[in-house]
Every structure is written in structure tokens, then in C-alpha cells.
A = this chain, B = another copy of it.
């Protein structure tokens, strides 16, 4: 079952305590697409500028990602520059150039409109709704957002939340969206806004999943060296939806295993700069770390 993702395809310039990288391939749709491609076919919707190199398109092609919906527009590619603190949970955006993203209106190729699994990556909620409106037979729609849209496009976001099954956000965004500091209350409040499932990402502390009838909590995979946390959240979403699309199991057990697969893929992402670790990752490594995740967390068998 193939997955459609809309989001940013970007140049990232990253500084971490371990080193730095200039204009590497980044963006929410990029991380999501490469992560999900280990589980299911992926179709990407987005825009890049005239400066976007063939090498980077090649990264997607090698993972079998469908690029029909990736538009090339006049101008420069979206560029994010960020700096991480010694505490890698904290980062500053040093520079943000929207470039071709300004005024982008996503039009889906005909071959995309029957996509059943959809991830609306972190972009303008208006644009997320535009994509949703072009789809005919979605089985499962998940979306991400961020503080910028929660504060600036609250109304569009509220409308969107009524039309999706799952929201995947981090803990500070969940607090901002709900106005609740306690994370359980925050999740319950967001469930009332529409989504049937809320996934709360807590970085190195793992993920919480809330639905009306169940809570699932899982730690992150512990690593001795985190090189670059960029894209961990989108890689998580990619592994998560990728496994759901592959298994077709949307029950509580299926959701939970998908969350662990997402956590596993994210744990590889942060082992190197940008998408470098994912481009040399194998399905066998994912399965092996999934088994280690069981060993890491099991206490009752």
C-alpha cells in the first residue's frame, strides 16, 4: 500500500556539538519519504528550486520514491539553518528562507489521488487541507504541525484536525495547542478536537500514544552518540506510517508495533548528519534493532 507525503524538501545547514554540515538534503517530506520507503512505496508532494541538485533527487530515486509530485519552481530551494545546544533537545533556528515555498500550491498528479495512507508533514495547514481535498479514498491520514502554525493559523489547523485520524506532534506543541501543561490532559484535550489518535514525540524520552481507550508509552532507543537530531521526528512518522501501510493492521497492537518501528528508524537517523545514515541503512538492521527494542523494554515475559 503506497503512502503520500506532503511537506518540505529543503537544504539544511546544521551545526551540532559534534560538527556541522552545509546545505545537506533536509525537510519534513524528505526524512519521511526515505524512512517510510523501507516499509512501503512512497509518493512525494512538494517543491524545490532551480538550485536543487540531481544528486539529491537521486537519493529519493534510489529508495524508489515517486517524484512525480515534486515540482521544480523558479527560484531557490527552501533553506533552514539551525544550531543545536550541548543538550541536543534544544535548538535555535538561525535562518529560515522560505524561497520557492512561498506561494506554492500543491497540485496532485492524477496517479496520486487514490493514495490511501497520507502524511501531511509540517507545512501551512491551509496547504495541508488543499492536499487532503484532492484525495479520493484515504484510509488513514496523519498530520504534523508546529508552534508557528498553532499560533498563526489556529483556525485552519482546527478545521484540519476535524478531518484527520492521527496527529503526530512533540510535547511542547501539544502543550501549546491544548493550553494544558500536563501531557495526559493535553492529549485528552487534543483528542476532543478531532483526531482518534494522538502521538506525542518526546525526543530522547520516547513516544506517548493516546486514544479514547488506550495509552501506550515507549522509551526511545538509547544511543551512546547522537550526531544530529534533525529529522528524527519525521523519520519516526515515516517508519510509523510505513509499517502501518505495510501491515494494514490499525488495531492497538498494530499501532504500537508501528510506533516502535518508527522509533527504530529515528534512532538510526540521528547517528549521522542529515539523511546520511538512512541512505546506507538496510531492512535487516531495522529488524535487528526492533528485536533489541523488545529486549530493551520487556519485563514481564
- Report which residue of A86, A257, A298, A301 has the largest number of chain B beta carbons within 10 angstroms of its beta carbon: A298
**In the bound complex, CA of A295 to CA of B213 (Å):** 12
Contact pattern, A 286-301, Cβ under 8 Å of B = 1, otherwise 0: 0000000011111111
**In the bound complex, CA of A218 to CA of B205 (Å):** 10
Sampled A-B contacts (28; CB under 8 Å): A86-B181, A87-B181, A182-B223, A182-B224, A182-B225, A182-B226, A183-B222, A184-B224, A185-B224, A205-B205, A208-B222, A214-B295, A215-B222, A216-B296, A216-B299, A217-B219, A217-B296, A217-B297, A218-B219, A218-B299, A219-B219, A253-B299, A256-B298, A256-B299, A257-B299, A257-B300, A260-B300, A297-B297
* Residues on the B chain within 8 Å of A216, using CB: 296-297, 299
* Residues on the B chain within 8 Å of A194, using CB: none
**In the bound complex, CA of A218 to CA of B296 (Å):** 8
A259 at the interface (CB under 8 A from B): yes
* Residues on the B chain within 8 Å of A208, using CB: 219, 222
How near does chain B come to A38, taking the closest CB pair, in angstroms?
Answer: 19
**In the bound complex, CA of A84 to CA of B155 (Å):** 34
How near does chain B come to A250, taking the closest CB pair, in angstroms?
Answer: 15
> Contact residue range for chain A?
35 or more
* Residues on the B chain within 8 Å of A298, using CB: 256, 300
A202 at the interface (CB under 8 A from B): yes
Contact pattern, A 66-88, Cβ under 8 Å of B = 1, otherwise 0: 00000000000000000000110
**In the bound complex, CA of A226 to CA of B185 (Å):** 11
- Report which residue of A205, A223, A296, A300 has the largest number of chain B beta carbons within 10 angstroms of its beta carbon: A300
| Least CB separation from A300: chain B residue | B294
A206 at the interface (CB under 8 A from B): yes
| Least CB separation from A205: chain B residue | B205
| Least CB separation from A301: chain B residue | B301
* Residues on the B chain within 8 Å of A181, using CB: 86-87
**In the bound complex, CA of A215 to CA of B299 (Å):** 12
**In the bound complex, CA of A219 to CA of B184 (Å):** 14
Of residues 214 through 253 on chain A, the ones whose CB sits less than 8 Å from some CB of chain B are 214-220, 222-226, 253
**In the bound complex, CA of A214 to CA of B183 (Å):** 30
